[in-house]
A and B are shown apart, each in its own frame.
Chain A
Amino acid sequence: MASTAEHNGFHFPEGSSESNNGTSVDYPAMPWFGMDIGGTLTKLVYFEPRDIAASEEQEEVETLRTIRRYLTGNVAYGKTGIRDVHLEMPNQVIGNRRGSLHFIRFPTSEMYAFIDLAKSKNFSSLSSAICATGGGAYKFEEDFYKMVSLRLHKYDELECLLKGIHYIDRFNPSFECYYWTDPGNSQLCQKVPFDFRNPYPYLVVNIGSGVSILAVKSPSEYRRVSGTSLGGGTFLGLCCLLTNCETFEDAIQLASEGDATKVDKLVRDIYGGDYDKFNLKGETVASSFGQMMSKDRRETASRADLAKATLVTITNNIGSIARMCAVTEKIERVVFVGNFLRVNTISMKLLAYAMDFWSRGSLKALFLEHEGYFGAMGCLMEYLNLGHPCNT
C-alpha cells in the first residue's frame, strides 16, 4: 500500500520534501522542544538539526550550541534525567529542517532543577516561550515565567497524544507498532510488527500515573471515555510502601523475580480447584492480596512476591476496564501507551493475554515503541504548527 502523508488523515505538509538548509521565517527560532509534564515524569522531545552548514554553525549563537551539545553529548542529565538513546529517530525532516529527534525524561519532582538548568544555560535569550502539554504545563506555568522569564505555550493533552502517535508511527524507520503473539505462552510469545496505517477506530489506553482511555474514531473525532486512578503511580506508590524500593526500575526488577500466587488468593484456594459453574480456572486470581489477610502468609511473602502481586493487580485491572470500554465503544484495536509499560514486558504480556482471552480473540492489544513520548512529540508538532488534524 502506498504510504502517503495523508494515509491516516493527518496532514504533514513537509512530508517528504527536501530540507532547504536555510532558516525559515515560518518556524519559530531554535531550539525546538516539545515537553509533556506528567504527574510523575516529564517527557521532552528535542529536535537536533543535523543539516547545519559550516557557515550557519559559525553564526549559531553560543547559547544554542551549548544546549545542543549538552543534550546530544550526554545520555544522562544530573542525577535523574535520562535520554532514551534507543528511541532516537535520526534523519527526520521537520519544519524544513533535517535532523534527529531525541527523547529525554526526568522526574517531574525535579522540575525546579530543570528550570535552574534552563536559567544557567541562558535559555530565555533564545526564545521567550517553550511549548508544553500535560498537567504540569498549568501547574508550573507561573514558575517558568517568574524564574526564567519563559512563557509556556500550552497545548491540549489529548490532541498532542494522538498527533504524536501518528507522527512517530508514520516516520519511525523501524517498526513502531507491535503486538505479542501467544502472550499466554512464554515459549512461543514474541513481538510482531503491526501495520497501524489504517488505525481507525481505536482505543488509546494511556497509562501514566493514572490512566486515561480515549476512543479515537477519526483524526478529528476522539473523546476521553474513561479512566482509572489505579495506574503507574499506584503501582510505584504501593511498591514503595510495601517493599521499600526506590525506583520504577527497581520495582519492575523485583516484580520479575516474584511469585504473585504467594500473595493472591486463587480460585483453587477457595474452591479446591476450578469453579466449573462459572468457568473459572483454579489458577485464576479470585482476590488480589487475598492471602495477606493471614499473619502467617504475610510473614512468608517476599518483597518480590509483593511487587509482582502489585504489578499483576494493577495491570489486570487496567486490562479489564479497557476491555469493557472497547466493548461499549465497539472498538477492536486497543493501543496501550504510557511510561508504565517501559521495561515492563510483564504487563504488556498480561494485557495482551487478558484482551485476547476475555474477548475470545476479538480484541487486539497493540503497543508502541515510544511508550510515553507521544504527548511531548505532539506538543512539538503543535509548536511548529504542523499537521493540525482539525485543519485537514
Chain B
Amino acid sequence: MTAKSYARSIELPTESIFRNLKHARRFAIDIGGSLAKLSYCSTVSRRTSMVFDEPEQDDASHIYNISETDQVIVRLHFVKFETKYIETCLDFIQGNLIQSKDFMKDKYIKATGGGAYKYKDLITSKLGVQVDKEDEMDCLICGCNFLLKNIPDESFVYQRHGNPDYKFQGVSTDIFPYLLVNIGSGVSLIKVESENKFERIGGTSTGGGTFWGLGSLLTEARSFDELVELAERGDHRSVDMLVKDIYGGAYTSIGLPGDIIASSFGKAARSPKDKNTKSFKEEDLARSLLLSISNDIGQIAYLHARIHNLKKIYFGGYFIRGHPMTMHTITFAINYWSKGEIQALFLRHEGYLGAIGAFLKGEEEEDTERYSWGEHFAGSSGLVSPKQKCFDIAKSRSSMFDHLEIDRLERPLLPCTLLLDVNSYYPDTVDLTKDAEAREYWLQCFSQGADKSKLQAIKSQPSSPDAVERADKFKSRYLDRLSVLKANPCCFGSLNVRTLLDTSSQFLSELDFTDPFSQQKQFENEQALKSLDGHLNHLDTLSWDDRQMALAKGLLAGNVFDWGAMEVRKIMETQEFGFADAQDKLQAIFCDNSGADIILGVIPLTRELLSRGTSVILCANSRPTLNDVTFSELQLITKHVAAISGEINQALTEGRLLVMESGQGSPCLDLRLIDQCLVDTIKTMDTDLIIIEGMGRAIHTNFEAAFSCECLKVAVIKNRWLANRFGGDMFNVMFKYERSRRVSASNNTS
C-alpha cells in the first residue's frame, strides 16, 4: 500500500478539524514539503444577551431589558496538517462549503510555499477556485509582522532547564527592525525594517536540509524528528575534537574553554594508525551534526545582526519547529557568539507565518490594520514540541492537526498612555509559569470552580433544552485544558490568573454561554439602585472627613459584592489618601462588578468628584465576563442614576461625566490593549488620576503597574490563599494611593 492511499483511507475527524467551515469565505494555503497549513476566515454566530431600554414596554420591575440576540464574530482559522492528507482535506472542504462550485469559480485561493505549484491543479479541480501564488518570503514576513504586533507573548526566549523554559516577551509596541532567520532546507536571513521594507541580507546553504541530508547518510534515522531525537541522546565529544583534545585543557590566552568544539567531526578523521574505519554511535554523530549546524547558523546570524546593527533575531522554519533541542542549540550559539548581548527569539506560531501572510495578502483590501486581533485560546492548540506530539498521536488522530484561531476585535486597541513605560509594563502580578506553588493552587482552584461555572451557565438559560449538555461540554473541555496547562504551563504563552479567567470565558462563549450572569447582574443592579437615593442623602449629611471615609468604605464594601464573595466583612486598612488630593483632577475609573459595587461604591465617589469640579470617565468592559458590569449596562445604569442624582445628570449633559468602553472582556485589566477611543479621550482630557477597582484589575493585574499620573488601586481580597500570600486575612482590603512616578523634565536637567 502506498503512503498516499494509506493516508486517504484514514478516517479523519474532519468536523473538529475544520471548524466553522460552513461560513468560511476566503482561503489561503501554505504547502510545504511535509506540512501544509490551510487558512480561512469564517464568521461565528454567537447567542448573546443584549441590554436595552424599552420605555414603551413600561415593565416597572426592570430597569432595563435583556434579550437574546445573535452576535457575529469574524474569526481566522489556521489548520496545520501533514501534506500527505491534502487531498482528503480538500475533499472535505469541497463537500462542506455552502458555496457551490459555480460560486467559487471566479474566486481565488492564495497559495504559497514550495508545494503551491505542485498542488495547483489539484486545488483548482477540487475546489473550483483559481490558485493565486504569493511569494514565500513576502508571506513569511507579513505573517511574522502580524503575529508580533497582535498576539501577546508571541515571541519567547528559550532557556533549557530554566524556570520556566520559555520566557515570553509580552506585547511589542515597536517591533522593527529585526532579523528573521528562516531555517528551512537552507537558511535565509531577512532584515525587516518596516511593514513593507525588508531585504534578504544573507543566507547559508548549511541548514535543515544539511542536517537531514547528512543525518540520513550518517545514521539510520528515517525522519527529521527521529534525527533530532537521536541527537538529544547523543554525546558529541566522541566525534568532535574539543579544545582540550588539542591543548590538553583550555586555551586560556585567547579565552577558549576546554569544552569548546575546535573541530566538528575532527575525531572522525582517520589517522594512518586506524586500519579500519572508526565506528561511532549514531546518536553521537547526530548530536555532533546538530551542534555544528546550529552553531554555524548562530554565528552567521550573529555576524549579520552585528553588521546591520540589529538587536532582535527571530528564528523560524522547520529546523526549529518547537524542538527544544534545536532551540537550545541555537540559543546557546547566539549567546556564545554575542557574549550574551543578543538573545535568540522564537515564535509560538512560527509554523503559521506563511499561511497567515498568504491569507493577509488576499485580505489586503479589507485593511487588517483597522482592527485588533486576539488569540482564541479555546480553539487553538498550544505550543507542543514534535516529541510530545508523538505521544499524543496514540491518543487520537486529530492531534496530527494543529490549530490556531484568531478573533477580529471590531475596534483597535492601544496601550494606555497613562502608563509610565509601556515597554516595561507587564499586567500580571504572579507568573504561574515560574511560581510552581501558585500554579498548583490556581489550577486546582479553577478546576474546582468549573462546576460552579457550569451550574451558573445552566441556570442562565432555563428555557434552552440543550443547556445542560452544553454546560457539561464546557466543563470537560475546560478541565482538559487545565490539565494540559498543568503538564505544560508554557504552551499558551504566559500563564496567570488573567489568562485562566479569559480562557474560561472563551470556552463558555464557545458553547453559547456568552453572558451567564446577565440576569443576576440585572437583579443586583436593580436592588442597588433602590438604595442609591437613600445612600446619597446619607452621605450628604456627613461632615467632609466622615464622608471621605464613607466613600472609601463604600467603594470597598461595594467591591465585596462579588460573584465569589460569600460573606461581607469590612476590615479597613487604608493608606493615607484624601479626597482633597483628587480635587480638580480628571480621573478615569476602571470599574469592576455590577450591582452594589458600581452603584453604591463607584457612583457616589463619582458624584463627589464631579461636585468638586472634576471630570470623570467611567470605563467598563466592552464584552461580558462573569458579573462585571459591561459598557452597555453601565450606560443604562447611568441613565437611571441621572434620574436620581441631579449632579450626575448635569455632568452627563455637560460632558464632564463620560461612560466609555475599555476594549476589554476580562475580569482583569491589560492596559496594553485599551480601546482606541478611550485612549484618545484620556489623552485629550489630560487625565491625571486613574482609579483601578477590583481584585482582578488591581491585584491579579496592575498591582505593580507604575503610572505617569496619580493612581488609586482599590480592592478587597476575596481569596484566602491570596490573602495568606500577602500575609493578610480574607477580606483584607487594599486602598493604595500612588503618586505620579513621572520625573519632571526640569528635575532631569538640573
Q: Is A289 in contact with B217, judged by CB distance below 8 angstroms? A: yes
Contacts of B265 in A (CB 8 A): 233-234, 237-238, 241
In this assembly, does A149 line the interface, its C-beta being within 8 Å of a C-beta of chain B? Answer: no
Contacts of B263 in A (CB 8 A): 39-40, 208-210, 229, 231-234, 237
Q: Given contacts A39-B245, A317-B204, A320-B204, are A237 and B213 in contact (CB under 8 A)?
A: no
Contact of A288 among B206, B262, B264, B303 (CB under 8 A): B206
Q: Is B137 in contact with A278, judged by CB distance below 8 angstroms? A: yes
Scan A128-148; emit 1 where CB is below 8 A from any B CB, else 0. 000000111011110000000
In this assembly, does B655 line the interface, its C-beta being within 8 Å of a C-beta of chain A? Answer: no
Contact of A40 among B200, B253, B264, B269 (CB under 8 A): B269
In this assembly, does B295 line the interface, its C-beta being within 8 Å of a C-beta of chain A? Answer: yes
Instruction: Name the residue of chain B whose CB is nearest to the CB of A159.
Output: B253
Scan A195-230; emit 1 where CB is below 8 A from any B CB, else 0. 000000000000011100000000000001010111
Scan A319-355; emit 1 where CB is below 8 A from any B CB, else 0. 0110011011000000000000000000000000000
Once bound together, how far apart are the Cα atoms of A140 and B264, in whole Å?
22
Contacts of A15 in B (CB 8 A): none
In this assembly, does A242 line the interface, its C-beta being within 8 Å of a C-beta of chain B? Answer: yes
Within the complex, the shortest CB–CB distance from B253 to chain A, in Å, comes to 6
Q: Is B205 in contact with A233, judged by CB distance below 8 angstroms? A: no
Could you tell me which residues of chain A, from 147 to 193, have a CB within 8 Å of some CB in chain B? 156-158
Could you tell me which residues of chain B, from 234 to 258, have a CB within 8 Å of some CB in chain A? 239-241, 243, 245-249, 251, 253-254
Contacts of B270 in A (CB 8 A): 236, 240, 245-247
Contacts of A136 in B (CB 8 A): 246-247
Instruction: Name the residue of chain A whose CB is nearest to the CB of B222.
Output: A295
In this assembly, does B277 line the interface, its C-beta being within 8 Å of a C-beta of chain A? Answer: yes
In this assembly, does B185 line the interface, its C-beta being within 8 Å of a C-beta of chain A? Answer: yes
Instruction: Name the residue of chain A whose CB is nearest to the CB of B304.
Output: A324
Q: Is B205 in contact with A240, judged by CB distance below 8 angstroms? A: no
Instruction: Find the residue from B117, B270, B296, B299 having the highest chain A CB count within 10 A.
Output: B270
Q: Is A321 in contact with B247, judged by CB distance below 8 angstroms? A: no
Q: Is B296 in contact with A230, judged by CB distance below 8 angstroms? A: yes
Once bound together, how far apart are the Cα atoms of A109 and B271, in whole Å?
7
In this assembly, does B162 line the interface, its C-beta being within 8 Å of a C-beta of chain A? Answer: no
In this assembly, does A66 line the interface, its C-beta being within 8 Å of a C-beta of chain B? Answer: no
In this assembly, does B339 line the interface, its C-beta being within 8 Å of a C-beta of chain A? Answer: no
Contact of B205 among A208, A264, A327 (CB under 8 A): A264
In this assembly, does A285 line the interface, its C-beta being within 8 Å of a C-beta of chain B? Answer: yes
Q: Is A229 in contact with B262, judged by CB distance below 8 angstroms? A: yes
Q: Is B214 in contact with A238, judged by CB distance below 8 angstroms? A: yes
Contact of B209 among A80, A224, A290, A327 (CB under 8 A): A290
In this assembly, does B449 line the interface, its C-beta being within 8 Å of a C-beta of chain A? Answer: no
Q: Is B269 in contact with A236, judged by CB distance below 8 angstroms? A: yes
Scan B162-185; emit 1 where CB is below 8 A from any A CB, else 0. 000000000000000000000011
Contacts of B216 in A (CB 8 A): 292-293, 295, 298
Once bound together, how far apart are the Cα atoms of A226 and B336, in whole Å?
11
Q: Is A138 in contact with B266, judged by CB distance below 8 angstroms? A: no
Instruction: Find the residue from B216, B249, B280 having the highest chain A CB count within 10 A.
Output: B216
Q: Is B300 in contact with A138, judged by CB distance below 8 angstroms? A: no
Q: Is A237 in contact with B267, judged by CB distance below 8 angstroms? A: yes
Q: Given contacts A233-B264, A237-B269, A240-B277, are A324 and B300 in contact (CB under 8 A)?
A: yes
Within the complex, the shortest CB–CB distance from A216 to chain B, in Å, comes to 14
Within the complex, the shortest CB–CB distance from A313 to chain B, in Å, comes to 6
Contacts of A316 in B (CB 8 A): 205
Q: Given contacts A110-B273, A325-B303, are A241 and B296 in contact (CB under 8 A)?
A: no
Within the complex, the shortest CB–CB distance from B197 to chain A, in Å, comes to 14
Could you tell me which residues of chain B, from 258 to 305, have a CB within 8 Å of some CB in chain A? 260-273, 277-278, 280, 285, 292, 295-296, 299-300, 303-304
Q: Is B217 in contact with A292, judged by CB distance below 8 angstroms? A: yes
Contact of B272 among A80, A270, A293 (CB under 8 A): A80
Scan B314-358; emit 1 where CB is below 8 A from any A CB, else 0. 000000000000000000000000000000000000000000000
Q: Is B273 in contact with A287, judged by CB distance below 8 angstroms? A: no
Contacts of B266 in A (CB 8 A): 39-40, 209-210, 229, 233-234, 237
Contacts of B137 in A (CB 8 A): 277-278
Contacts of A157 in B (CB 8 A): 253
Q: Is B217 in contact with A306, judged by CB distance below 8 angstroms? A: yes
Instruction: Name the residue of chain A whose CB is nearest to the CB of B190.
Output: A278
Contact of A287 among B135, B210, B239 (CB under 8 A): B210
Within the complex, the shortest CB–CB distance from A1 to chain B, in Å, comes to 34
Contacts of A230 in B (CB 8 A): 264, 292, 296
In this assembly, does B307 line the interface, its C-beta being within 8 Å of a C-beta of chain A? Answer: yes
Instruction: Name the residue of chain A whose CB is nearest to the CB of B291.
Output: A229
Once bound together, how far apart are the Cα atoms of A295 and B223, in whole Å?
11
Q: Given contacts A234-B263, A313-B206, are A293 and B269 in contact (CB under 8 A)?
A: no
Q: Given contacts A138-B248, A289-B209, are A270 and B262 in contact (CB under 8 A)?
A: no
Within the complex, the shortest CB–CB distance from B238 to chain A, in Å, comes to 12
In this assembly, does A282 line the interface, its C-beta being within 8 Å of a C-beta of chain B? Answer: no
Within the complex, the shortest CB–CB distance from B357 to chain A, in Å, comes to 14
Within the complex, the shortest CB–CB distance from A174 to chain B, in Å, comes to 31
Q: Given contacts A110-B272, A320-B204, A328-B306, are A139 and B185 in contact (CB under 8 A)?
A: no
In this assembly, does B549 line the interface, its C-beta being within 8 Å of a C-beta of chain A? Answer: no
Could you tell me which residues of chain A, from 48 to 87, have a CB within 8 Å of some CB in chain B? 79-80
In this assembly, does A286 line the interface, its C-beta being within 8 Å of a C-beta of chain B? Answer: yes
Instruction: Name the residue of chain A whose CB is nearest to the CB of B204.
Output: A320
Contact of A285 among B205, B264, B268, B296 (CB under 8 A): B205
Q: Is B303 in contact with A328, judged by CB distance below 8 angstroms? A: yes
In this assembly, does B412 line the interface, its C-beta being within 8 Å of a C-beta of chain A? Answer: no
Instruction: Name the residue of chain B whose CB is nearest to the CB of A316.
Output: B205
Instruction: Name the residue of chain A whose CB is nearest to the CB of B289.
Output: A238
Q: Given contacts A233-B263, A289-B213, A325-B303, are A241 and B206 in contact (CB under 8 A)?
A: no
In this assembly, does B114 line the interface, its C-beta being within 8 Å of a C-beta of chain A? Answer: yes
Q: Given contacts A240-B278, A325-B303, are A287 and B213 in contact (CB under 8 A)?
A: yes
Q: Given contacts A38-B246, A80-B272, A110-B272, are A290 and B307 in contact (CB under 8 A)?
A: no
Contacts of A240 in B (CB 8 A): 268-270, 277-278
Contacts of A38 in B (CB 8 A): 246
Q: Is A139 in contact with B247, judged by CB distance below 8 angstroms? A: yes
Within the complex, the shortest CB–CB distance from A269 to chain B, in Å, comes to 9
Contacts of A247 in B (CB 8 A): 270, 272
Q: Is B185 in contact with A234, judged by CB distance below 8 angstroms? A: no
Q: Is B214 in contact with A292, judged by CB distance below 8 angstroms? A: yes
Q: Is B264 in contact with A237, judged by CB distance below 8 angstroms? A: yes
Q: Is B307 in contact with A265, judged by CB distance below 8 angstroms? A: no
Instruction: Name the residue of chain A whose CB is nearest to the CB of B273.
Output: A109
Contacts of A237 in B (CB 8 A): 239, 263-269
Contacts of B438 in A (CB 8 A): none
Q: Is A210 in contact with B241, judged by CB distance below 8 angstroms? A: yes
Q: Is B307 in contact with A324, judged by CB distance below 8 angstroms? A: yes
Q: Given contacts A229-B264, A241-B285, A289-B214, are A278 and B200 in contact (CB under 8 A)?
A: yes
In this assembly, does B186 line the interface, its C-beta being within 8 Å of a C-beta of chain A? Answer: yes
In this assembly, does A19 line the interface, its C-beta being within 8 Å of a C-beta of chain B? Answer: no
Q: Is B214 in contact with A135, judged by CB distance below 8 angstroms? A: no
In this assembly, does A244 line the interface, its C-beta being within 8 Å of a C-beta of chain B? Answer: yes
Q: Is B262 in contact with A209, judged by CB distance below 8 angstroms? A: yes
Instruction: Name the residue of chain B whose CB is nearest to the CB of A231.
Output: B263
Once bound together, how far apart are the Cα atoms of A285 and B205, in whole Å?
6
Instruction: Name the residue of chain A whose CB is nearest to the CB of B248.
Output: A139
Contact of A241 among B218, B261, B303 (CB under 8 A): B218
Scan B447-459; emit 1 where CB is below 8 A from any A CB, else 0. 0000000000000
Contacts of A31 in B (CB 8 A): none
Given A39-B241, A135-B247, A237-B263, 20 other A-B contacts at CB below 8 A? A38-B246, A40-B266, A40-B269, A139-B246, A156-B253, A209-B246, A209-B262, A228-B296, A230-B296, A233-B263, A236-B270, A240-B277, A241-B285, A245-B270, A288-B210, A289-B210, A289-B213, A289-B214, A289-B217, A290-B209
Interchain Cβ contacts under 8 Å between A and B, 7 examples: A210-B266, A236-B270, A237-B264, A277-B137, A286-B186, A298-B216, A324-B300
Q: Which 3 A-B pairs have the closest CB atoms?
A: A287-B209, A237-B265, A292-B213
